[in-house]
Amino acid sequence: MMQNTEGKKSESETYLRVEKLKTQFFTARGIVKALDEIDLTIRKGEIYGLVGESGCGKSVTAQSIMYLVPDPPGRIVSGKIYVGNVNILTGLEQLAKITVKSETNVKIKRNKRMIKRHNYLLSRIRGDRISMIFQEPTLALNPVIRVGDQIAENILLHLKVDMANAILRREMSTRKDYESFVQKALSIGDKDARNKAIREWCESYSISDAEELVRNIFLTYQDPETVVKSIEFIVNERKSGTNINRLSRAREYYLYQQRLFEATLNLMEAESGKNQDEIDRARTALNEIKKEGSSFLSFRIINKFIGKRIEAPLRDAAKRRVHELLNLVNIAEPERTALSYPHELSGGMQQRVMIAMALASNPQMLIADEPTTALDVTTQAQILDLIRNLNRQMGSSVLFITHDLAVIAQMCNRVGVMYAGNIVEEADVNTIFDNPKHPYTIGLLKALPRADRIAGKMVKLETVAGSVPNLITPPTGCRFHPRCKFKMDICEKKKPELDDLGDGHKVACWLYQEPGGSGK
């Protein structure tokens, strides 16, 4: 009973759900079965660690979740990846027809139209809901674009509506505010005090022409009406005026784009469901929204030519946010750093910039693929601290990939252990270290020096005997069986499912489940 409610609760808190994900690489030497139908769930706000030997498919998992598997040669063959409530693999079968004639002879026929639509879907999910930090910051930053612009790009792609809202809201309140303020200012008798008040007011609304406003008010000192008019003029024309009108139009357009996206998504989901009624309904809905588009025609044309000017306030806001973000990742001089090129920064700084970039649009999910491997030890520790703190502050989930069990112990709430394209064990971090079940996990942990064991003299470290299998012809059944000390007959024949032993401790091993039955 108790377990049940808890299960439900965790279910509702899930942010990322990967189901039966199968990714393969179609190479000249054969098909690399890199991921063998893996299941993975990550809850809101947790740090989920993924460990495993080199080549076991950690990076492929991360890339698959972002749909970034290099194609060719790789493709996601089947599965579902829910990010929030959106399956980013919606309509996967329609993207490409894969005909496997033999291991080395595979025909892939891509459907350009579907791929285009899928790319559109991805561009709305990636960076917005889910971001990624790469292993080598030096390679992952574009060398010819200033880092500030690289971060701002992310903001401008995904936060336009929010920023436009904020700006418009502020401008509206400014308008209401200033009239009452002018009255108040004029009632102040003392010249200097009034001057100061006006200046403060102007600055609080970041009106750059503060000086000019003050002068205007002085000039028309005798005549309150003129004062009001002159400020009105400045506020309306010079600062906001036409720009604000355009911006509010732009906001409507962005909102329309959002609706269009949602409708497209609905259609894609319906199409993968094969229910003709639903498809028709979704298609009609999409067409309805598309019709709205015609009213934006003139705006789109204007936007094409003076888009930069319309978005100028957004760009300013984005710039401010870039500085905030750089501050957040502990970069000392945000203004200067924002203007530098990647090669002018140290590796640690670059990785901070990467993190700032990944966080720029407040994603709910962050994937970090060995984010510290390329850095020196001190910087490593700082970056790990940073990720942990940010996770606490922002409450976004993190998929943390590493080959370093010590880091896992420091960082993660839950851990998944991967072996040769499978997740073989999953549990919370204490359980994994204290009570490992899968023979592979046990082997890994034996190799880890522990305080209690190091207390002795020289400790001979054990490693897991044997080596990672070739994933073109992986072992049958349990892929670990050639290296397993506890191998049984069934292990070679049938693949063990990832089975819950209770308390969310899942293991895929025949030692813990009944062959034949479902094991439950």
Partner 1 sequence: MATESNVGGSILKAQPVKHRPRVEDFKSTFKLFIKNRLAFVGFVIVLIYFTITILDYVYPSYLGVKDINTIASWVPQLSSGVPSGPTLSHGWWYIFGETLYFAPIFPVMLAALKTDITYSILIVLTGALIGIILGTMSGYFGKLYDEVLMRVTDIFFSVPTLVLAIAVTVVLGKSLQNVVIALIIIWWPIYARLTRGVSLSIKSNKFIEAATAAGSSGLRNVFVHILPNVLSVVFVQFSLDLGSIIQLFAALDFIGFNEGSPLLPELGNMLTWGTSYLVSGIWWPIVIPGIFLLIFTVAINLMGDGLRDVLDPKLRR
Partner 2 sequence: MELRYFILRRLLLLIPTVLGLSIFMFILIEAVPKAILVTPYINPHSRIPYIIQEANALKILGFNYPPPIAYLFYLDRLLHGNLGLMSMPGYPNSVAAAIVDAFPNTIQLTIFASLLSIAIAIPLGTYIGARPNSIADQAGRVFSLTGYAIPAFWLALMLQIVFGKNILLGNPLGVLPFSGSFSASAIPNPTPSWFVNGITYPTHLVIFDALIHGDFPLFVDALKHIILPVLTLTYGILAGILRFMRAGMVDASNQEYVKTARSKGVPEKLVIKRHIRKNAMIPTITVMGLLVAGLLGGVVLVEYVFAYPGMGYLTTQGILSYQIWLVIGTTLIFGLILVLTNLIVDVVYALTDPRIRY
Ligand X SMILES: Nc1ncnc2c1ncn2[C@@H]1O[C@H](COP(=O)(O)OP(=O)(O)OP(=O)(O)O)[C@@H](O)[C@H]1O
DSSP H stretches of helix in 159-240: 160-187, 191-204, 210-219, 224-233
36 CB-side CA count, 13 A: 25
- Residue 126 vs 479, nearer CB to partner 2: 126
Which residues between 454 and 473 bind ligand X (CB under 6 A)? 471
What is the separation of C-alpha 427 from the centre of its chain, rounded to a whole number of angstroms? 23
> Using CA atoms, how far apart are residues 188 and 197, in angstroms rounded to an integer?
9
Residue with Cβ nearer ligand SF4 (207 or 484): 484
Going 268 to 271 to 272 to 278, the CA torsion angle's sign is positive
The answer to whether the bond into 334 is cis (omega within 30° of 0) is no
Q: Is the peptide bond before 73 cis (omega within 30 degrees of 0)?
A: yes
Which 8-state DSSP code applies to residue 472? S
In 3D space, the residue among 60, 52, 30 whose CA is nearest the CA of residue 480 turns out to be 52
Query: Among 13, 71, 128, 262, which residue interacts with partner 2 (rule: CB under 8 A)?
Result: 128
When asked if residue 34 is in the footprint of ligand X (CB under 6 A), the reply is yes
Smallest separation, CB 76 to partner 2 (Å): 15
Residues 6+ apart with CB under 8 A from 105: none
Cβ proximity to Mg ion, 322 vs 408, nearer residue? 408
User: Residue 319: beta bridge partners?
Assistant: none
Q: Taking Cα atoms as reference points, which of 258, 87, 90 lies closest to residue 164?
A: 258
354 binding partner (options Mg ion, partner 2, ligand SF4, none; Cβ < 5 to 8 Å by kind): partner 2
Q: Based on C-alpha coordinates, what's the Rg of the chain?
A: 29
| Binding footprint of ligand SF4 on the chain (CB under 6 A) | 438-439, 478, 480-481, 484, 486-488, 491, 496, 509-511
The first and second tokens of residue 415, run together, are 């851990």
Q: Based on CB atoms, which residue is closest to partner 2, 140 or 166?
A: 140
Among 66, 310, 322, 368, binds partner 2 (CB under 8 A): 66
Dist. CA 124–CA 118, nearest whole Å:
10
CA 402-326-158 angle, to 5 degrees, is: 85
262/254 Cα distance (integer angstroms): 12
Amino acid code (one letter) for 303: N
Which of 293, 307, 449, 515 binds partner 1 (CB under 8 A)? It is: 449
Give the three-class secondary structure for 362: coil
Q: At 217, list the tokens.
A: 């008010």
By beta-carbon proximity to ligand SF4, the closer residue of 331 and 508 is 508
Among ligand SF4, Mg ion, partner 2, none, what binds residue 496 when CB lies within 5 to 8 Å by partner kind? ligand SF4
Task: Output the smallest distance, CB 349 to Mg ion, in A.
Answer: 23
**How many residues of this chain bind ligand X (CB under 6 A)?**
17
Q: Directed axis angle between helix 312-328 and helix 241-273, to 10°?
A: 70
Q: Does residue number 114 form part of the binding site for partner 2 (CB under 8 A)? A: no
Stretch that binds ligand X, among 50-58, 104-112, 242-250, 320-328 (CB under 6 A): 50-58
Residue 406 makes contact with partner 1 by CB under 8 A: yes
Q: What residues numbered 27-86 form the site for Mg ion, per CB under 5 A? A: 59
Say which entry of Mg ion, partner 2, ligand X, none residue 123 contacts (CB below 5 to 8 A, set by partner kind): partner 2
Could you say whether residue 353 binds partner 1 (CB under 8 A)? no
Q: Does 415 bind partner 1 (CB under 8 A)?
A: no
Please identify, using beta-carbon distances, which residue of 446 and 495 lies nearer to partner 1. Answer: 446
Give the footprint of partner 1 on this chain (CB under 8 A). 51-55, 373-377, 380, 402-407, 444, 447-449, 461, 463-464
Give the footprint of Mg ion on this chain (CB under 5 A). 59
Give the footprint of partner 2 on this chain (CB under 8 A). 66, 68, 116, 119-120, 122-128, 131-132, 134, 136, 139-145, 153-154, 157-158, 341, 343, 354, 357
